[in-house]
Structure 1
Amino acid sequence: MSEAVLRAEWPAPGGVQAFTTLRHGAGRSIVPFDAFNLGLRSGDDLDAVARNRAELIERFALPSAPRWLRQVHGTHVAIEPGHDEPEADAAVTRTPGTVLAILTADCMPVVFASRDGDELGAAHAGWRGLAGGVLEATLDAMRTPREHIVAWLGPAAGPQSYEIGREVYDAFVSHASAAAAAFVPTREGHWRVDLYALARQRLARAGVMDVHGGAFDTIGDARFFSHRRDQRTGRMATIAWMAP
């Protein structure tokens, strides 16, 4: 079981579970979506994805079917999402047994939990969503005071591999000059960017200091799906819930 997921390493309150699925170790999708693709809109066979999603629930004994989102790189937060896949890039629940789900393949999944284990949030933070304020929007949707929230940064494109252009650089540095520290010049008009550092900066400004994770690189690590590396590829799911 362990080879199919990466468990979150963070001081989550008792009863809170979080993990990110890996590319292999489960699932039935074939090349180039092999094998544990959970994204319906990735171009994979829909029946294969449905089987993979059913396996996710059974293999990891999820307390309910995940609340999938129709992610659009925006900042809308679905509060207590149902099973109708609302258009949103983050979700918040206060209901034990509700399973939040974020799909990624280089973007950064972020999970938030209240220290008392009564509230949970999850966000899809690619560079557009991160610059647009999806993390702050998720925190705004939570009732828990910022100082009582712990966060985990799931696997994303890492600073050693993720090269971007001026549009991305300007989106962050124009918002806060301190963001420049997360960019390393590579060639004219291009930088390597540390999404994890940018997320930590923004969370700190928002009042969340207890932040964990951020040590993986989906582009350079073949355990993960990576759109930047492979173009046509599947999606991992970051899954989180409070025990019923």
Structure 2
Amino acid sequence: MTTKLPDNITMINWPTDHVLAFTTNRLPSPHQLPVGNLQDSSLTTLKQKEHRSAFSAFNQGDHVGDCAEHVALNRKSLLQYLPKQAKIQWFEQVHGNHVAEVLNYENKAIVADAAITRNPHIALAIMTADCLPILLSNKEGSEVAAIHGGWRPLSSNIIARTITKMHSSPSDIVAWMGPCIGAKRFEVGQEVKDIFCQMSADFSAAFSPFKSTLSDLKELKYWADLQHIAKLQLLNLGVNNIMQLGDCTYSNKEKYYSYRRDNITGRMASVICLKSI
């Protein structure tokens, strides 16, 4: 690839040349206008600046209150990093465990939290702002998958459901896990830990107890490690080739969006597609 990458695109060094994958962050692109330059008659100049600052640059989410033209421009700019015929399939993620098998591109977002395709003209995009993006392919590079790894989808076995629908054996699958809320930033209650530990006692290692200063001192809270949970699930399913980008979205405000930190915020995208050699 000869295109110079901006700071808001990170190419993933996928172990097969038949797959292309990258992830975005919130840093600005050269095409973007300063906050307040996009007109919106419903906002005063001051309110417009406050509104836009919540999304600050390279937002890929069209459902979070950002200017639609701004998001469309950001999404369109991603196409230059994909094969010429590829279109990005976007999803309406609902924190469930439905896995869509995408045969053809649909202009409307598909309701699903994971997807598989074997069509070389379709790129799958998962949006996150603390949840864990997971990308998969087989070693041959004939099918790819993308998973929205929030704690609810993970607790509903979305990884297993995705791999079951793939045509590849788990030993032939390559996995990548991207930036998400870190292991010392994701606060959950006892009920979340119990859900996972009822699945397997092995998941207890992904939870660290602490007393929250914002809650009843009698109520024990836990730090949850989403990457550790997902890695255990992948390994238990027989997927051993796992890559990780361990950045914490919550802790790095300049680079990443974080819903837990900001509530009103944009979304990053993790994208994967097949390509011809």
TM-score normalised by the shorter chain: which range applies?
over 0.9
Q: Which residue of 2 aligns with 1:48?
A: 70
Q: Which residue of 1 aligns with 2:259?
A: 227
In structure 2, the gaps of 5 or more residues are 36-51, 212-218
1:134 to partner: Cα distance: 0.9
Q: Equivalents in 2 of 1:135, 1:99: separation in Å?
A: 19
Q: Equivalents in 1 of 2:258, 2:83: separation in Å?
A: 25
Question: CA RMSD for the aligned pairs?
Answer: 1.5
Q: Equivalents in 2 of 1:163, 1:209: separation in Å?
A: 28
1:172 aligns with 2:171: no
1:150 aligns with 2:174: yes
1:197 aligns with 2:201: no
After superposition, what is the alpha-carbon deviation per residue over 1:149-196, rounded to whole angstroms, capped at 9, x for unaligned?
A: 010001111102211112221121111111001111111321111111
Q: Which residue of 1 aligns with 2:184?
A: 160
Partners of 1:12 and 1:113 within 8 A in 2: no
Distance 1:61 1:241, change over 3 A: closer
Q: Which residue of 2 aligns with 1:15?
A: 18
SS at match of 1:66: strand
1:3 aligns with 2:7: yes
Q: Equivalents in 1 of 2:83, 2:9: separation in Å?
A: 13
> Which segment drifts farther, 107-116 or 26-35?
26-35
Q: Which residue of 2 aligns with 1:90?
A: 114
Distance 1:25 1:50, change over 3 A: same
Q: Equivalents in 1 of 2:122, 2:266: separation in Å?
A: 24
In structure 1, the gaps of 5 or more residues are none
After superposition, what is the alpha-carbon deviation per residue over 1:110-147, rounded to whole angstroms, capped at 9, x for unaligned?
A: 00110011111110010000111111111011000111
Partners of 2:87 and 2:121 within 8 A in 1: no
SS at match of 1:44: coil
Q: Equivalents in 1 of 2:275, 2:170: separation in Å?
A: 22
Deviation beyond 3 Å, 4+ runs, structure 1: none
Q: Which has the larger radius of gyration?
A: 2
1:61 to partner: Cα distance: 4.2
1:99 aligns with 2:130: no
Distance 1:116 1:105, change over 3 A: same
Partners of 1:101 and 1:122 within 8 A in 2: yes
Partners of 2:9 and 2:22 within 8 A in 1: yes
Q: Which residue of 2 aligns with 1:243?
A: 275
- TM-score scaled by structure 1? 0.94
- TM-score scaled by structure 2? 0.83
Quote the sequence identity (%): 35
Partners of 2:20 and 2:82 within 8 A in 1: no
1:62 to partner: Cα distance: 4.7
